[in-house]
Amino acid sequence: MENLQNKNIVIGITGGIAAYKTIELIRLLKKSQANVRVVLTPAAKAFVTPLTLQAISGNHVAESLLDPSAELAMGHIELAKWADLVVIAPASADFIARLRVGMANDLLSTLCLATSAPILLAPAMNQQMYHQAITQENLATLQTRGVRCIGPNAGEQACGDVGKGRMSEPAEIYQAIQQSFVEPDCQGLSVVITAGATREALDPVRFLSNHSSGKMGFALAEDFAKRGAKVTVIAGSVNLPTPQGVERINIVSAEDMLEAAKKMAPHHDIFIACAAVADFRPAEVCKQKMKKDPKMATETMTLTLIKNPDIVATIAAMQENRPFVVGFAAETQDVADYAKDKLVRKNLDMICANDVSNGKGFNQEQNAIQLFWKAGETIHEKSLPLASKLQLGNEIIDAILTQFKK
């Protein structure tokens, strides 16, 4: 991935306890030889000091729109023109709301209005504030205007609440910043990706499914789109926003996903089967909710299951307009052996395998992947160590492009 040497990056810090993390982000940027200028909102100064940020960034810290010495040279306009990228970390609910309506009542909001550089937000706030409809509406509106967001993450918060609202970790924001400067090397490519879990109905209320969150598939979709590809996601049970520039097709069952895949695959260059598809489905779906019979002598129930279609094998077996086919294998033991077997048996071009034993991989922000692909009769492999799914997505794409272009 392209380094950040001599890139001009403005870091805006708003009022929030996560501001202390931004010091580490600035350190990472300086280590990559980026030029960093820091802008503080008045509230941010309650959490981090200008002196600390000046020492870390190596530059004067801008604090006020009404600083006579700075504004003598129209400092906010100078900063706006200087920036290659503006990063707001943390981005508070208040700042996000003000940015959405175009206010310019402090230096940072004015700079954002005056710059032509891309803007990246790293939201951080109480989980209830984040889930408020108005906050979600503000973020959605900003994204339609081209503002990018990373996070927030879920977890324990400083206030004691647990939920989504924690600012992304500095390393994750750093990766997103790097991504902002990646050249669009996938222009002209079309990619279809399956993501998330399928749901196989038992009755109108219950279903069989699994723990897949769809995060890996959506990370791949986001990365391909940022690199210039035309991307379609066939999404099962996924509670994630659709990445900017990605077309989304929502499905429920494995059979639904198969039909969508068969329809889309012949018109795309690359097919990536990242979804966690249920291997079996109930032989019969009850039309009414199943009830416990109080007269039953046992406390057990027997379900008859039938095998679901193998979506990735079906696409890999296409005789006409077959795309480059990449599979995923989530295993709990003998990961490499099972992955190699699936690669050969299903006639895949590449497979990405990960260990999901003890809950690893599912619903996590990070993952580790082993890649396998065929070159003649030889199976090659490459290990991608534990990293954010955003970073892994780019490394997987690099590997796919290398093999696709051969």
Return the DSSP state at 292.
-
CA distances from 146 to 96, 241, 277, 399 (A): 14, 15, 33, 28
Any idea which residue has 């339609």 for tokens? 144
- The reply, when asked if residue 289 is annotated as ligand binding, is yes
Q: Give the type of residue at 1.
A: M
- The reply, when asked if residue 346 is annotated as ligand binding, is yes
Return the DSSP state at 336.
H
Active site residue 112: no
CA distances from 37 to 43, 77, 85, 170, 219 (A): 18, 14, 11, 17, 29
Answer whether 272's CB lies under 8 Å from 191's CB. yes
Q: What's the rounded Cα separation, in Å, for the pair 178 and 53?
A: 21
Answer whether 306's CB lies under 8 Å from 281's CB. yes
What is the number of helices (H) and of strands (E) in the chain?
A: 14, 19
Helices (H), 37-90: 50-57, 68-71, 75-82
Q: What's the rounded Cα separation, in Å, for the pair 33 and 44?
A: 25
Strand pairing report for 366-375 and 350-355: antiparallel
Helix-, strand-, coil-residue percentages of the chain, each rounded to 5: 35, 25, 40
Task: Report how far apart the first and last C-alpha atoms of the chain are (Å, whole number).
Answer: 21
Opening angle at CA 206, ends 284 and 304, nearest 5? 30
- The reply, when asked if residue 312 is annotated as ligand binding, is yes
Return the DSSP state at 106.
S
159, 274, 286, 352: the active-site residue: 159
- The reply, when asked if residue 279 is annotated as ligand binding, is yes
Please tell me whether residue 49 adopts helix, strand or coil conformation. Answer: coil
- The reply, when asked if residue 328 is annotated as ligand binding, is yes
Residue positions forming the annotated binding site? 279, 289, 309-312, 328, 342, 346
Active site residues: 159
Residue positions forming the annotated binding site for CTP? 279, 289, 309-312, 328, 342, 346
